[in-house]
A and B are shown apart, each in its own frame.
Chain A
Amino acid sequence: QVQLVQSGAEVKKPGASVKVSCKASGYTFASYDIHWVRQATGQGLEWMGWMNPNSGDTGYAQKFQGRVTMTGNTSINTAYIELNSLRSEDTAVYYCARSDFATLLDYWGQGTLVTVSS
């Protein structure tokens, strides 16, 4: 069965960086894009960007351009998101999700809480 398992919660200080992992199993990792979505406390879902594990191609929401990097390692079936220059507004649950033929997000990770606090 398809599973996406994310790394554990993180606490970071403002200005620091965080890297969250998303390990895929149950399907051919290189064949499906991975998207990242976040939800700040009390807010809705926010699309951050996508990554193709096979080509390494990426696309980021304008809001995160220059501050986010999405990568993948096909040898260990794992996707990563790194967010730099963290601020308190980045406190959120970050989700990875598989894109089914670039039309919908059919499987999601369990979410990773990133807390940014001094």
Chain B
Amino acid sequence: DIQMTQSPSSLSASVGDRVTITCRASHSISNFLNWYQHKPGKAPKVLIYAASSLQSGVPSRFSGSGSGTDFTLTISSLQPEDFATYYCHQSYSIPWAFGQGTKVEIK
């Protein structure tokens, strides 16, 4: 099974900051890597699919990069509505797996 490891597990940042979250897969997953945003009481929302493709309707301040085992989600200028938990997700092979999440909090 493929394990997904995110870092950091949490971070504090201010509005306007550039934020970077990393995700590492235990085996190569090509570009079968997605990023989700999850807010309390809401369903998760896909931000980035196939490692670097922006989901329709998602602001361009979100971007993704990487392939193989190492991936990055970047928020170029953090906005108030971006405070949430972010998860990476591999869909390369069953069983699918999520990273443990990165909680982005207000500094």
Contact = CB atoms under 8 A, between A and B. Distances in A.
Interface residues of A, number: 24
A102 B91 contact: yes
A116 B32 CA distance: 35
B89 A104 contact: yes
Nearest to B85: A44
A103 B95 contact: no
A100 B87 CA distance: 18
A10 interface: no
Q: Which of B32, B36, B95 has the most CB of A within 10 A?
A: B95
Interface stretch (B11-19, B20-28, B44-52, B72-80): B44-52
In terms of DSSP, what is the predominant structure of the interface of chain B?
A: loop
B72 to A, nearest CB: 17
A62 B95 contact: yes
B97 interface: yes
Interface in A10-53: 35, 37, 44-47, 49-50
Nearest to A45: B98
Contacts of B44: 37, 45, 95, 97, 105, 108
Contact of B43 (A35, A49, A109): A109
A9 interface: no
B87 A45 contact: yes
A106 B87 CA distance: 14
Interface of B: 1, 32, 34, 36, 38, 43-46, 49-50, 55, 85, 87, 89, 91, 94-101
